[in-house]
Structure 1
């Protein structure tokens, strides 16, 4: 189990990118290669879950880890939620498993969500509206949210622009409109007891994200996907004040490494008393590790 006294931070946003048990579909290779160029990631091949765990052990950082299921919209075969959870369990001193279920899977997805919570102990689910091709407030996803709300599981949503498909012909069919964080305002109203995390600085809708997180008690923001040196001043201001208890460190591994993010975070104007909240304390409370 994770020893909060020993780790220096909790990364709320890491991806299980390398296929677990099977190679990804061929088309996915081009997507990954293009995305790695976009982020200037310093690896030849995406790391496996065990490699991710070893990296985080060396950094003395714990991490929320998840696959992304977007089979309906992309046709790419997903990684197994079960296998990611089983691998995370082998490295439970640093890894915290989340799952991902394409909302288009209907009742099959609902059953899977319940199974992942009850039998594998996952603490949350990752949604990527642009990649999965749905508005977060589309009622097709509500049966899934009902399961999460029932168990108190966390719903983590990509927001804003994405490196997925960036630079590819037609953006690889990905539509940015689905990831405007204002759509999560409806979800927060309809599921007031389900913790919601909006991932990333939500360019070009940063003000919408801050408004929703400020107005709705169950909404948080993870600061992944960008180096902190590029954070807009408004995000930093809210992190230091109104949202200091609702901001979470996230890297977006393997596209951005935790050590790079943490080093850049040291250089921005965050109050000394706020830094431990963002780096560890807020996440530990939200994940019920304390």
Structure 2
């Protein structure tokens, strides 16, 4: 079994996002990672994407909604709900939340997570129309609500996570995890490029999981992620492709070719993801 912890399927509102609209940008970012975009990403073909998943052995994918600026593009949570309903055995839905209005954010979490089919909350404060840092105290009521309800939170921290690198500084994630020790936090983009720093945060914060996704491929710092996955992060690191930037076949093959200890791979490929999201799935 393989769970891809971060993919954006070629359907509905995702096709309006820059990652599908701007093919030149996809090619450039993929090229920087030593990859080429998968055929389904070039055509926005959902049927082909599902075939590529199957051929790569990817069993399920975690699909996050998005509330972001106009360039990044929004994907409504109702789209995520419909995707999960249409392909219940293929996709795990995460609610994209705009935390600028905590009351409205909590109401949306109640609607689509607590009383709906989505299993977690995803926030990307650095790419909002008015960027925020993830440790902005205005967001804290949302964290408090999720912690009280046992709802995991995906925080984008790393990569293009804001107008400058300061939005990805692991100190921010450290503060959130420290202030909410009972909240499960999954750091998508794995804090890149602050690799050693985010790994130390994870070393001392047992409620932090890391999903380096696209930054596990052909960039400096990969060896540090691997070392951590073989030791203290063996139960808290997860595999992801960040499709459409990385194709499923290339992602799985290159990830599994890294020098992981054989006994940690099942955890990295699916067990840790299932634990983080509290999934009840058969192996």
TM superposition score normalised by structure 2: 0.84
The number of equivalent residue pairs is 269
Q: Paired residue for 2:213, among 221, 224, 243?
A: 224
**Corresponding residue SS for 1:251:** coil
Structure 1 pair 64–125 and aligned structure 2 pair: CA distance change class (3 A): same
Give the equivalent residue in structure 2 for 1:3. none
Q: Deviations over 1:70-96 (max 9, x none)?
A: 14xx47652210121122122111110
Contact 2:66–2:76 (8 Å) recurs in 1? no
**Counterpart selection for 2:102 from 88, 103, 106:** 106
Using the TM superposition, give the Cα deviation of residue 226 of structure 1 relative to its aligned residue in structure 2, in angstroms: 2.5
The Cα of 1:13 is off from its aligned counterpart by 1.0
Alignment CA distance shift 1:286-1:28 (3 Å): closer
Name the structure 1 match of 2:7.
14
Q: Distance in 1 between matches of 2:222 and 2:234?
A: 16
Classify 1:23/1:12 alpha carbon distance in 2 versus 1 (closer, same or farther; 3 Å). closer
Whether 2:109 is the aligned partner of 1:118: answer no
Q: Check 1:287–1:77 CA distance in 2 against 1; reply closer, same or farther (3 A cut).
A: closer
Aligned match of 2:68: 70
The answer for the alignment partner of 2:34 in structure 1 is none
The question of whether the paired residues in 2 share the 8 Å contact of 1:229 and 1:265 is answered with: no
Worse overlay, 200-209 or 54-63: 54-63
Match of 1:197 in 2: 186
Partner Cα separation in structure 2 for residue 13 and residue 222 of structure 1 = 8
**Residue 180 of structure 1 pairs with residue 177 of structure 2:** no
Change (3 A) 1:29 1:98: closer
Deviations 1:186-234 (A, max 9, x none): 1112211111011224333112210111111110111301344435322
Runs of 5+ unmatched residues, structure 1: 1-7, 165-172
Once the two structures are TM-superposed, the CA of residue 136 in structure 1 deviates from its matched residue by 0.8
Contact 2:174–2:201 (CA under 8 A) maintained in structure 1:
yes
TM-score, normalization by structure 1: 0.82
User: Whole-Å Cα distance in 1 between the matches of residues 11 and 90 of structure 2?
Assistant: 18
